[in-house]
Copies of this chain bind each other. A is one copy, B any other.
Amino acid sequence: MGDGSFQFLSGNRTYPRRSLHGQIVHEMGRRIATGDIEPGHSLPSEEVLCAEMSVSRTALREAMKVLSAKGMIESRPRRGITVLDRDNWNALDPDVLSWVHGGRPDGEYMHKLVEVRRIVEPAAAELAAKRATDAELVAIQDCCDNMAKGVGNIDLYIAADLEFHAAVISANHNEFLRPVANAICAAMLSSLRITNPTAIKNRYSLTLHEAINSAIQARDPKGAREAMLAHQAHMSEIMHNVFGDMKEQE
């Protein structure tokens, strides 16, 4: 432990790019997610796609099976490959998440993300204070320490930040919550690069994380919840400054 090995981020596994069909998966996934092909519409036939990309049907089909497994397409004989409605997409899949929100997080996107975090994370902090094992307490502490160490190194700081939040939710021992945490982290990754340069300056962010950590270490559920709420309030403020009005639809 404490080696910065990113143990909790392991859940954010994305489909490997090393193989040819893996590259096709990411390329086509991105195209579909960006709206290049509208839901309900059909893709070219396998034969045409193979020709366009200069790959064999084997590689192409294996790639399509991956996208199909994520609920983005459906392939039927004679009908061809059709893009499914976004409701069917496995939206918390790390790959889908990265394709849909690849690059440019806008205000609306950030607002929705914050909304989910506000719902889930206070409860998660509370549960973590109740249930974390000794090993998990150590892991959470380590993340906090790494954040402190990483004040000068933005990448290290972000990684530790992500791990901290993932570790807290992971300590809930609830398999239904974990994927949500993974998704939050994956989505945070793109946003932190924008907001953290601001957060890292005043060091207040670090203090807030340490407050959460302290409460959890002391097994103080209410305190953990309160500290998490304070942290989120601070995050919201920063985001408000960075992204401007996020159209709170109250």
Contacts and interface: CB of A to CB of B under 8 A. Distances in A.
Contacts of A123: 118-119
A170 to B, nearest CB: 8
Contacts of A180: 92, 176, 180
Interface string A78-106: 00000011111011110100000000000
A149 to B, nearest CB: 25
A113 B69 contact: no
A203 interface: no
Interface in A65-79: 65-71, 74
Contact of A69 (B69, B115, B178, B250): B69
Contacts of A71: 13
Q: Which of A63, A65, A178, A183 has the most CB of B within 10 A?
A: A65
Contacts of A91: 175-176, 178-179
Residue picked from A21, A70, A86, A87, most chain B C-beta under 10 Å: A87
Interface string A187-216: 100000000000000000000000000000
Interface in A149-198: 174-180, 183-184, 187
Contacts of A187: 176
18 contacts: A10-B87, A13-B71, A13-B84, A15-B68, A16-B74, A62-B62, A62-B65, A90-B179, A91-B175, A91-B176, A92-B92, A112-B174, A115-B176, A116-B174, A116-B176, A119-B120, A176-B180, A176-B183
